[in-house]
């Protein structure tokens, strides 16, 4: 018999022995576990050296996430990209893309073209002369960054995003480090560097070392030997790829910002990347929960200050293929660029982004609602819905059968909340 391509099998040939099902099958109403909606980190994000929130901006391009009022979906995706990486066009053309190697879609028919999507949005932003978002407020403090390379530029940009003024010290003829060498599109490199300088609040001094008093100092790649006690240097890295240096820069800027505010550096999570923050997203869309009034509460699920059923475990939990219901996904060919320097057409970028399986986050397929035998899974009220808040479980109806978990394509529903 001719072999058939199957993208999902719950059981392999010969897998016919019963195992201990006590933790998997519950008698109605007697189970110890309830369904809960768990945001976990997708492998593309976990493997991205620059720390991109890939799943979120891909879902913006897929039109699963609505932009804030007044923004096009392209600019909204661009803004989410540059939270981590101010060079989306360059990196979209040149990054070796470990995110694609780790993409769970490889277990269906092939990875999502993340590089192509990033390149397309980056090219759109340059063509439309989209500026970087201004800082929300000024801190009144100034930091020094020493170096001309990617880590230095990334750090300077991220410090400026926090509202700090920055003085960049460099004697290099051109800014950009390894990006000014062969293999990089020089016109695009120049435009994306200039966009950082046009950000405002970043002064370039043609000096080799800081002169003056600064709230914090960062010595970029190859210059850390000149650092004084209390100065900042990049994390050690296994490679010197530009995308890795982008991540070094923003992590250093984050720690510098904490130091400048008199705070301790954060306790770094297992997945030290930009991650989706539901409460932040609700606030952006004017749907933030009410402030907690204090004091004991009997049932928080109906209170306006609570977000029912939701857990954010993205700091240290990864979504693997085994967590997904792959049978939901039909095979779909990847939309390839004609050349690495040519972005996708808009329609192709949208189609390619819709191949994303949104690992670890709801993408509003409604399968759980359709399969729940008692109608316990309900849509969130239309005025309260947002990305990650499409459905909720009524625990008064739930019989803990875990069918919703079994059929959830993205692995977002887990049986983990004990009664």
pLDDT tens per residue, range 326-384: 999 999 999 999 998 999 999 999 999 999 999 999 999 999 999 999 999 999 988 88
- What pLDDT sits at residue 1? 37
How confident is the model over 306-324, as a mean pLDDT? 91
- What pLDDT sits at residue 3? 47
CB 177 within 8 A of CB 152: yes
Q: How far apart are CA 196 and CA 204, in angstroms?
A: 11
Per-residue pLDDT at 30 exceeds 60: no
Of residues 324 and 222, the one with the higher pLDDT is 324
How confident is the model over 174-188, as a mean pLDDT? 94
Buried b (16+ CB within 10 A) or exposed e, 274-305: bbbbbeebbeeeeeebeeeeeeeeeeeeeeee
| Candidate from 1-5, 300-304, 312-316 with smallest mean pLDDT | 1-5
Q: How far apart are CA 291 and CA 294, in angstroms?
A: 9
CA 150 to chain centre: 20
Residue 31 pLDDT grade (very low, low, confident, very high; cuts 50, 70, 90): low
- What pLDDT sits at residue 304? 85
- What pLDDT sits at residue 4? 46
How confident is the model over 191-201, as a mean pLDDT? 96
Tens of pLDDT, residues 36-65: 999 999 999 999 999 999 999 999 999 999
Tens of pLDDT, residues 285-297: 888 889 888 888 7
Q: How far apart are CA 114 and CA 64, in angstroms?
A: 16
Q: How far apart are CA 280 and CA 258, in angstroms?
A: 20
Per-residue pLDDT at 6 exceeds 70: no
Three-state DSSP class for residue 326: helix
> What is the reported pTM?
0.90
- What pLDDT sits at residue 129? 97
CB 218 within 8 A of CB 146: yes
Per-residue pLDDT at 32 exceeds 90: no
- What pLDDT sits at residue 281? 86
Q: How far apart are CA 154 and CA 172, in angstroms?
A: 16
Residue 215 pLDDT grade (very low, low, confident, very high; cuts 50, 70, 90): very high
Tens of pLDDT, residues 383-416: 888 888 899 998 889 988 889 999 999 999 998 7
Ramachandran class of 19: left when φ > 0, alpha when ψ lies in -120 to 50, beta otherwise: beta
Locate 199 and state its tokens. 């950000």
Per-residue pLDDT at 223 exceeds 70: no
Q: How far apart are CA 140 and CA 258, in angstroms?
A: 15
How confident is the model over 256-276, as a mean pLDDT? 91
- What pLDDT sits at residue 33? 80
How confident is the model over 160-181, as a mean pLDDT? 95
Q: What is the mean pLDDT of the chain?
A: 89
Selection from 351, 313, 301, 311 nearest residue 116 by Cα: 351
Q: How far apart are CA 284 and CA 180, in angstroms?
A: 37
CB 361 within 8 A of CB 38: no
Residue 413 CB contacts under 8 Å (≥ 6 apart), including other chains: 35, 36, 37, 38, 368, 404, 405
Three-state DSSP class for residue 244: helix
Instruction: Show the domains of the chain with their CATH numbers.
Output: 33-129+275-292+299-418 (no CATH), 142-260 (3.40.50.720)
Residue 18 pLDDT grade (very low, low, confident, very high; cuts 50, 70, 90): low
Q: How far apart are CA 146 and CA 142, in angstroms?
A: 13
Angle at 163 between CA 161 and CA 165, to 5 degrees: 100
Locate 303 and state its tokens. 């209170």
């Amino acid at each position: 018999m001719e072999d058939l391509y199957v993208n999902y099998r719950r059981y392999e040939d010969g897998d016919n022995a019963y195992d201990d099902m006590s933790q998997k099958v519950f008698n109605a109403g007697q189970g110890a576990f309830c369904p809960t909606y768990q945001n976990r980190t997708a492998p593309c994000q976990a493997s991205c050296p620059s720390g991109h929130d890939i799943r979120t901006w891909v879902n913006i391009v897929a039109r699963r996430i609505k932009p804030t009022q007044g923004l096009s979906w392209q600019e909204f995706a661009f803004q989410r990209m540059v939270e981590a990486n101010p060079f989306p066009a360059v990196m979209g053309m040149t990054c070796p893309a470990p995110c694609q190697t780790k993409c769970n879609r490889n277990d269906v028919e092939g990875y999502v073209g993340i590089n192509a999507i990033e390149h397309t949005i980056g090219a759109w932003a340059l063509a439309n002369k989209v500026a970087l978002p201004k800082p929300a407020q000024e801190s009144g403090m100034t930091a020094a960054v020493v170096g001309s390379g990617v880590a230095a530029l990334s750090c300077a940009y991220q410090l400026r995003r926090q509202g700090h003024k920055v003085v960049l010290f460099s004697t290099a003829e051109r800014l950009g480090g390894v990006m000014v060498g062969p293999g990089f599109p020089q016109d695009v490199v120049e435009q994306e560097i200039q966009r950082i300088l046009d950000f405002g609040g970043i002064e370039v001094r043609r000096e080799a070392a800081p002169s003056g008093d600064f709230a914090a100092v960062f010595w970029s790649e190859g210059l850390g030997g000149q650092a004084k006690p209390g100065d900042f240097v990049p994390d050690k890295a296994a490679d010197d790829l530009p995308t890795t240096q982008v991540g070094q820069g923003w992590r250093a800027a984050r720690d510098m910002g904490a130091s400048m505010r008199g705070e301790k550096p954060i306790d770094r999570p297992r997945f030290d990347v930009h991650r989706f923050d539901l409460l932040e997203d609700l606030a952006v869309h004017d749907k933030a929960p009410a402030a907690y009034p204090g004091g004991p509460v009997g049932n928080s699920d109906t209170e306006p200050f609570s977000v029912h059923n939701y857990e954010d475990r993205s700091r240290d939990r990864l979504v693997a293929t085994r967590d997904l219901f792959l049978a939901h996904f039909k095979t779909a060919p990847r939309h390839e660029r004609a050349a690495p320097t040519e972005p996708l057409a808009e329609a192709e970028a949208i189609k390619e982004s819709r191949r994303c399986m949104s690992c670890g986050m709801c993408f509003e397929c409604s399968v759980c609602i359709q399969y729940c035998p008692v109608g316990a899974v309900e849509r969130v009220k239309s005025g309260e819905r947002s990305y990650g808040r499409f459905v909720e479980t009524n625990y008064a109806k739930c019989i803990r059968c875990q069918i919703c978990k079994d059929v959830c394509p993205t692995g977002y529903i887990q049986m983990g909340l004990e009664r």
